[in-house]
Amino acid sequence: MADDHGFYTPLGRTGLKIPRLCLGTVSFGGRVEEDAAHRLMDHALAQGINFLDTANIYGWRVHKGYTEEMLGRWLVGRRSEVLLATKVGNPMSDDPTDRGLSARHIVAACDASLRRLGTDWIDLYQMHTVDRAVPRDEIWQAMDKLVSQGKVRYVGSSNFAGWDLAATQEAAIRRDGFGLAAEQCVLNLVTRETELEVIPAAQAYGIGVLVWSPLHGGLLGGVLRKLTEGTAVKSAQGRAAAALHHHRETIAAYERFCAERERHPAELGMAWTLSRPGVTGLVIGPRTTEQLDGAINALHITLTEDELSILDIMFPPIGAGGPAPGAWMS
């Protein structure tokens, strides 16, 4: 449960309190230059958003690891004020040992992230992707070593299937370990597959759920109005642009729905994701302080049952909705 102000909440079954908004940094060192990134982090911290999420691969438009280096420069003198999350698993070079979740790579990649970030510890060290070729006992051997050395406080996963969460957690339990503290997955009005098994598995094991792409790459952020005004940036490319081709009528109806309620589409879309059972918080990727303030506004929006029902009609859940197997057996 969130605290009385609804801003901070426990990360799953841990004793760690985190803000319900985490500042994601995937755009830092590409769409967001360093000075602007520092201003965003300053503004976030001033608003109480003390949780930063990055990955060792971020910044690839310059070079892999560049975003961690940027964060390291900003963290000087601030490290004790910040919760810091990064990730391991994606290829960092052409070297076949410089990727995946082998014990060798996990330990080496953690040390490299620590050097780039200029810190002695990572608060949440996340497996960026599943590596089913590696025994889970090997993964936990490496992660447990990092925790015992004080280099990592909590271990998380990202983009795991529900059965991966269960298998990974059961492996930790066999080793008398704490296991996963958080899973980072995609969930938004357009992409609801994780409601079937990923989030229910996380709930069953007391694993916090951090949602990335709550606006489907900008598709739910007022894309049609932005395209008309010529102000679309992220929503004019990638996943959002591809999805708009298939969902244009629904997105138009959604933007009318938001206008009738005098709500910004991005704020209402994030409020919907925050309202989902099992969701701990959102990993947001604002490019401006105004967008960051809009995300904070979403924390104060409470959708009525009627509004939630209308949104379910616009953006139907999988099958009958809710967790599997009921979603397809009703």
Tell me which residues are annotated as active site.
58
Give the Cα separation of 113 and 26 in Å (integer).
15
Give the Cα separation of 280 and 288 in Å (integer).
24
Give the Cα separation of 271 and 295 in Å (integer).
9
- Give phi and psi for 25, each to the nearest 5: -125, 20
**Residue 185 structure tokens:** 């997955």
Give the Cα separation of 90 and 225 in Å (integer).
36
Measured CA angle at 238 (ends 236, 244), to 5 deg: 60
Residue type at 142 in one-letter notation? A
User: Which residue, 117, 169, 108, is CA-closest to 142?
Assistant: 108
Residue 82 CA from chain centroid, whole number: 17
User: % helix / strand / coil in the chain, to the nearest 5?
Assistant: 45, 15, 40
Cβ 59 vs Cβ 66: under 8 Å: yes
